[in-house]
Structure 1
C-alpha cells in the first residue's frame, strides 16, 4: 500500500473519529495494526493531521468565534466568560500532558490498551446517560468555574489511548449538569487549544524525523485536507444525532468495536 493511500485512509479515520466520543487516537492505533504499516513512521503524521479536523471547527463555528472576538474588544462579560472557561479547562491537560508526555507516548504503542479503553468508555457512557437527568446549564459561558475545572481534569483521562478526548470532555460536562448540545460544542472548542498544544509539542520533539523518513509533508498535506473535509460533514451530523438520540449509539459502537478488536488481537 502506497504512503499516499495510507494518508488518505488515515485522514478519513481522523476526520470521522476526532469529535465523536470513540477515540480518534485509538482508531489510528488500531488502523496501524489492521493495515500492517509501521506505526512509528506515522506517529508524527497522526498528530499533525488532527489540525485538519480542528480547522473544520473553526470554519463551521466562525460566527461564534467572531462574535466572541468582537465581544472581547467590547468588554462583553459573556465573551470573557466564554474565553475564561476554555482557558481554565485547557490548563490541566497542558500541565499533565507536559509532565507525563513520555509515559503517554509509551501507551500509544499498545492496541490492547485501546481495545479495553473502548469497552470501558462505552459502559461509562451508558451509565452516565442513564443516571444524569439534571442537565440545566445551557451555554459555554454559563458553566461555573468549579465545574469547568472538573471538566478539564476529566479530559486528562483521554491521555490513555482509546478513552477519547471528546468523550471524556462530553461525559465530564454531562455529569456536571451541562446539557448535551452545549457539552458537545464545548468539546469541539476545547479541542482547538488542546490539539494545537499537542501538535506543537510533538513537532518540537520529533519534527526532525519528517525530513528524513518515508512519511513527509506531502503525506501530511493529503491527510490534513482529507481529515478537514470529512470532519466538516461529521460535526454537522454528530450535533444532530446527539440532540435527538443522545450518546447511547456511540456507547454501543465502542463496546462492539473494542470487543472485536480484543478478540482479533488475541487470535493473531
Structure 2
C-alpha cells in the first residue's frame, strides 16, 4: 500500500481506534502507544487519518441502533399542543441529541487552538488517564446503577453534553465523560452507555468533517487522493471492530461495572509516563 502508512500499520491503528473509541479508556492514549510501537511518523495525513477513520466507528453505532436513528415519535399528543411542541415531540430523539451536542460544539470551536495545544502534551494525556482511572474505581459506588424508570429529558441531555466538554482534555475519554454524566443523572449504566454511543455520532462526525475541511484548506487534496486506499481500509476495519467492541462493552459494563476499566486506564497512563520519563519520543499524531 502506497502512502504514509503501510497496510499493516493501517489495520493495527484502525483496530485500536475501533476498540477504544467507545470504551472509557481514551483512544488518544492508545494512539500514542500504538504509533510509537509501529514507528509511525507524525505526518499531516497520519494526524488526519486518526480522525477520519472515526467515520467507520460512527457507522457501527448507526448500524447497531438503526431503530433509534431512523425512528420518529408518533405517540399521540393533546389537541391544544403548539406546532413547535408537536415538532419537538415527533423528533424527540434528534432534539435531545442536538441539545447534548451543542455545548461541545460551541466550546470546541471557541477553544480549538487550546485543545490542539494540549494534544501536544503526552504528560497531560497520561495524567488524565490515571486520574480518570482512579475515579472509575469508585464511580459505581458513587452513582450506583441508576433506575430503569429514569427518563432522558432535555435537561438531562444538556447536562450530559456539559460532561462531554470535559473530554476535550486529552486522556479523559469522551465515552467516560458522557457515561459518567448519564450516571450522575440517575440513568442505568446501560442507558448511559447507549446514549454516549448516540451522542458520539454527531460529535465525531463534526470532528471528522472539521479535520477533513482543515486538511483540504491546507492543500491536502493530493494527500487524500494518494492515501485513498488507506482511508477506505481504515474505515472498514474500524467499523467492524467497533461493532464487536460496543456489543462487548454493553454486556460487560451491565454485569460488572467500571472497575476493570479504571485499573486498565491506570496501567496505560503509567506506561506512557514511564516511557516518557525514559526518554522515548511520544509525539502525538
TM value normalised by structure 1: 0.90
Report the CA distance shift for 1:138/1:260 in structure 2 as closer, same or farther (over 3 A).
Answer: farther
RMSD: 2.4
Partners of 2:261 and 2:155 in 1: CA distance: 28
1:227 corresponding residue in structure 2: 238
Report the CA distance shift for 1:40/1:117 in structure 2 as closer, same or farther (over 3 A).
Answer: farther
Is 1:3–1:215's contact at 8 Å kept on the other side of the alignment?
no
2:220 corresponding residue in structure 1: 209
Report the CA distance shift for 1:93/1:138 in structure 2 as closer, same or farther (over 3 A).
Answer: farther
Q: 1:32 deviation in Å?
A: 2.3
Report the CA distance shift for 1:49/1:2 in structure 2 as closer, same or farther (over 3 A).
Answer: closer
What runs of 5+ residues in structure 2 fail to find an aligned partner?
A: 78-85, 280-285
Matches within 5 A, 1:90-109: 90-109=101-120
The structure having more radius of gyration, on CA atoms, is: 2
Report the CA distance shift for 1:259/1:83 in structure 2 as closer, same or farther (over 3 A).
Answer: same
TM value normalised by structure 2: 0.85
Matches within 5 A, 1:1-268: 3-41=6-44, 42-66=46-70, 68-69=71-72, 71=74, 80-133=91-144, 135-136=146-147, 138=149, 142-207=151-216, 208-209=219-220, 211-212=222-223, 216-268=227-279
Q: 1:25 deviation in Å?
A: 2.4
Greater displacement, 150-159 / 207-216: 207-216
Report the CA distance shift for 1:133/1:216 in structure 2 as closer, same or farther (over 3 A).
Answer: same
Report the CA distance shift for 1:267/1:213 in structure 2 as closer, same or farther (over 3 A).
Answer: farther
SS at match of 2:130: helix
Partners of 1:214 and 1:21 in 2: CA distance: 33
Greater displacement, 173-182 / 98-107: 98-107
Which structure has more helix as a fraction of its residues? 1
What runs of 5+ residues in structure 1 fail to find an aligned partner?
A: none
Is 2:133–2:261's contact at 8 Å kept on the other side of the alignment?
yes
Paired residues in the alignment total 265
